[in-house]
Homo-oligomer: A and B are copies of this chain.
Amino acid sequence: MAAAKRAPVLTPQAEDFPRWYQDVLNKAELADNGPVRGTMVIRPYGYGIWERMQAEMDKRIKLAEAENAYFPLFIPQSYLTRESEHVEGFSPELAVVTHGGGKELEEPLVVRPTSETVIGEFMAKWIQSYRDLPLLLNQWANVVRWELRPRVFLRTSEFLWQEGHTAHATREDAAAYAAKILQEVYADFMVNVLAIPLHLGIKPSYDRFAGATNTLACEAMMRDGKALQMGTSHELGQNFAKVFDILYLDGDSNQQHAWTTSWGTSTRMVGGLIMAHGDDNGLSIPPALAHIQAVVIVVRAGSDVDNAASKLMADIGDHGVKVRLDDRTGTALGRRITDWELKGVPVRIEVGPRELEKSEVTVVRRDTGDKQRVSVEGAPAAVAELMDQIQDDMLAAATEFRDTNTADAATIDEVLEAAANGFARVPWSVVAGQDAKAALVDKAVTVRCIQRADGTIPDNENEPDLVAYCARSY
């Protein structure tokens, strides 16, 4: 590895994974803790990653024909209490505004923990007949859920997310759309852009979103073997439609309740990206996501080197690669290389006087550490080709890591053994009961998702021959 000779700037993963994570946040300048406990400040480099996630997700959300809108931050407390499971699920996490404009408010306002209730209220206004269905909405926003054990990006009292909310004429339409979002938006983005392999499935009925009749999830494995829930898509049945009077006239002029869904992904994905690909040298960002895909480093100052590096940068840019120039020769080369590795830029190109004499530069991959000498002429095309190669290799490496750390289990004991280091794959029937659940929870292990044996998503947890993935989780 390129950086092996230098002193480690991060706590090694094997020594203390949570501390490694915290070190990466600081050293790669991704985020800081905010002044209010549980909040975070997303620094420009971290926000650049989130912006790219937003752009790629938003493109897919629009392809799924959902339209963006914006609903208010403040929700009357009475809205939350209308759906009983919903308020029960969120009550302990709420932030409450009691004063506004210098006065005590007549009704306290809740800072949205999620927007099902307020959006339900407006869906009821906007939907009259079956012609208004489906109504497909999405919102990019901040939400607040008070966190007692906050961790930046993974669990914060305020986070950024997208929340989709849709209304449909039938249960089948709603179920199909919730699955479409999980597969065509979330999984497509996470697998093909984030290069993170997923298990898709349903959550056990006891672990659904508050108010949902079915919760679908994408589960990924982090480098410490724990699971991270990367996104969820919920069928809400007619629960919210009944409480908020979301009614439509069907083709026979009968009034019907709509069937609604909601689905969300958040800045938690940034945490997932860090922990799915990061190593002891820092972040490693897949090229399809990176807002800086390559950096041309001037090894030592000198007009020949400067000119060659500038020209090379322009040529690499012309090949469709997002490239930066690092000509901060006042800072030591080793320090600069360490910084770009920390930030996970997929490829660096070192331009130095000695290699230039042979018309060559050094191209280094962040994911594998592989170095190669390349002719200056051939470098732009070589770097452009590496983008696809690295993207594929990162997904393959993450998939191999996950599968190597997954074991088939047939008993609770075997589940616990496998989940100590990774995922356990077990017949759902083995872990479905309350006793089994308790035995797992006792060791901080949970059922992450339930699939059919062929990996597809079941309609419900009562189908025969289902398989469950169990793991410790974030």
Contact = CB atoms under 8 A, between A and B. Distances in A.
Interface of A: 32, 34-36, 39-44, 47-48, 50-51, 67-76, 79, 91-102, 108-109, 111, 118, 121-122, 125, 137, 141-142, 144, 146-148, 157-158, 160
A67 B147 CA distance: 29
A81 B36 CA distance: 16
A35 B122 CA distance: 9
A111 B97 contact: yes
Contact of A102 (B43, B75, B91): B91
A93 B51 CA distance: 31
B100 A146 contact: yes
A41 B91 contact: no
Contacts of A36: 72, 74-76, 109
Given A71-B34, A72-B39, A74-B36, A99 B109 contact: no
Contact of A69 (B47, B76, B95): B47
Contacts of A100: 94-96, 146, 157
Contacts of A35: 72, 75-76, 79, 118, 121
Given A99-B96, A146-B100, A44 B72 contact: no
A309 to B, nearest CB: 20
A69 B50 CA distance: 10
A48 B67 contact: yes
The 6 A-B residue pairs with the shortest CB-CB distance in the complex, in nearest-first order: A101-B146, A44-B67, A39-B72, A34-B72, A42-B70, A96-B99
Given A35-B76, A158-B74, A41 B69 contact: yes
Given A41-B70, A95-B97, 9 more contacts: A42-B69, A44-B68, A47-B68, A73-B144, A74-B144, A92-B102, A93-B101, A94-B101, A98-B99
Contacts of A141: 142
30 contacts: A32-B125, A35-B72, A35-B75, A35-B76, A35-B79, A35-B118, A36-B75, A39-B73, A40-B72, A41-B71, A42-B70, A44-B137, A47-B67, A72-B158, A73-B142, A73-B144, A73-B158, A74-B95, A93-B101, A95-B97, A95-B101, A96-B99, A97-B97, A97-B111, A98-B99, A99-B108, A101-B147, A102-B146, A141-B142, A142-B142
Contacts of A94: 99-102
Contact of A48 (B42, B68, B73, B99): B68
A336 B53 CA distance: 37
A95 B99 contact: yes
Most buried by B among A74, A76, A98, A146: A74
B70 A160 contact: yes
A71 B102 CA distance: 24
A74 B39 contact: yes
Contacts of A39: 72-74
Contacts of A95: 74, 97, 99-101, 109
A102 B92 CA distance: 5
Nearest to A37: B100
A74 B147 CA distance: 14
A55 to B, nearest CB: 10
Contacts of A98: 96-99
Nearest to A32: B122
Most buried by B among A51, A75, A111, A125: A111
Contacts of A42: 69-70
Given A74-B36, A91-B102, A68 B97 contact: no
Nearest to A126: B43
A39 B72 CA distance: 6
A127 B223 CA distance: 34
A290 to B, nearest CB: 16
Contacts of A160: 70
Contacts of A34: 71-72, 74, 118
